[in-house]
Amino acid sequence: MRERRPGLGMTGFASLPPVSAASPAPDVIGVLRGIRDALAGRRFALLTGAGLSTDSGIPDYRGPGAAPRAPMTYQEFIGHPDNRQRYWARNHIGWSHLRRADPNGGHVAAARLEQRGLLTGLITQNVDRLHEDAGSVNVVDLHGRFDRVACLACARRYSRTLLAGVLEELNPGFLERALEDGVVEMAPDADATVEDSALIRSFVVAHCPACGGTLKPDFVYFGENVPRDRVERSYAMVDDAGALVVAGSSLTVMSGLRFVRHAAKQQKPVVIINRGATRGDDLATIKLEAGVSESLTWLASELPDL
């Protein structure tokens, strides 16, 4: 289990700070009022993506200003030891940054919406666990979690914090040298781009302490399928809902878009809040291009109780 930060309860909402209404621009507030009216009297499912975590200092893959990058695929990861060495070296740097991220107002607003009984559940494409840190309970981590690693041979799982200590022992001074050389880019899966290829080649990869097998972050790579139980649980959240709200996802990959199509097929309102175009815009009942955190904060303050 990921360590909880001071002031954040293990299960709940008692220790959450109050959500205060944000102050979006007047034209944004007009659209938000329409969203509030469309959602009023309905419980809804909430689907979140990387655009929600940018306010916590975690970069987006595809949002405005994001640098083009090609994440490592599962096939590349398992295909050659050099690829795994490069990935774990970069992940070791990215983890040291990502583990320090804190929930932002949007995460807290999502937890408040759940506390008030307005959500049928929360589906997140993010692996950063910030929803859980903010107090959300009924969460499907659709793409897995960055705070665990799994052995591909024996299926044992380990804490990423524990692995960080092992990697530091195997690679003394690596982080300091990497930071001196400069980190070019961070990614939402704790990956980092580093210019020094010699430094990468010097990295010693850890193996499963139980069987010596290959360790992999416990999240879904590009080229992998989302586990069926997570998909089914997410569909159930949409089925139980009167509407679907998408917050901070470009819906580029089918893992998230399928739920938008599912809700639209059931003729349920689909609200999309995202900076920039999404693959589901043609299915949206209401589309708002605005900051995700401020929009969710406003909605958490303005939506009436059921």
Question: Between residues 72 and 218, which one has the greater pLDDT?
Answer: 218
pLDDT band at 61 (very low <50, low <70, confident <90, very high): low
185 forms beta bridges with 193
CB 130 within 8 A of CB 247: no
Question: Considering only 7-11, 164-168, 287-291, which range has the smallest mean pLDDT?
Answer: 7-11
Instruction: Determine phi and psi for 187, rounding to 5 degrees.
Output: -135, 160
Give the mean pLDDT of 120-145. Answer: 97
pLDDT value, residue 98: 77
Which tokens is 206 given? 């850890």
Question: How long a stretch of residues is the chain?
Answer: 306
**AA letter at 95:** W
Count Cβ atoms within 10 A of the Cβ of residue 197 and give its class: 0-12 exposed, 13-18 middle, 19 or more buried: exposed
Say which residue, 61 or 48, is predicted with more confidence.
48
Helix axes 160-170, 174-181, angle to 10 degrees: 90
For 132, half-sphere exposure in the C-beta direction (CA atoms, 13 angstrom radius) is: 18
Give me the torsion for CA of 100, 218, 200, 53, rounded to 10°: -40
pLDDT at position 196 is 65
Residue the block writes with tokens 């040298």: 177
Sequence-distant (≥ 6) Cβ neighbours of residue 33 within 8 angstroms: 302
Q: Which of 92, 107, 143, 207 is catalytic?
A: 143
Q: Where are the domains of the chain?
A: 30-289
Quick check: 135 and 108 in contact, CB under 8 A? yes
| pLDDT of the residue at 58 | 85
Q: What average pLDDT does the chain have?
A: 87
Mean pLDDT of 131-146: 97
Going by pLDDT thresholds of 50, 70 and 90, the confidence category of residue 266 is: very high
Percentage above 70 pLDDT, the chain: 84
What is residue 70's predicted lDDT score, i.e. its pLDDT? 67
The tally of CA atoms less than 13 A away on the side-chain side of residue 191 is: 21
Report pLDDT for 7.
32
Q: What are 91-126's pLDDT values in tens digits?
A: 898 887 778 889 999 999 999 999 999 999 999 999
The two three-digit tokens of residue 245, written as one number:
């709200």
Residue 24, Cα to own-chain centre: how many angstroms?
24
- SS3 percent helix, strand, coil of the chain, rounded to 5, is 40, 15, 40
Band (pLDDT 50/70/90 cuts) for residue 21 is: very low
207 in catalytic set:
no
Give the pair of three-digit tokens for residue 251.
Answer: 């819906």
For 182, how many CA atoms within 13 A lie in the half-sphere containing its CB?
2
Confidence band, pLDDT 50/70/90 cuts, at residue 138: very high
Third-level CATH fold of 30-289: Rossmann fold (3.40.50)
Q: Nearest-CA neighbor of 132 among 13, 294, 272, 274?
A: 13
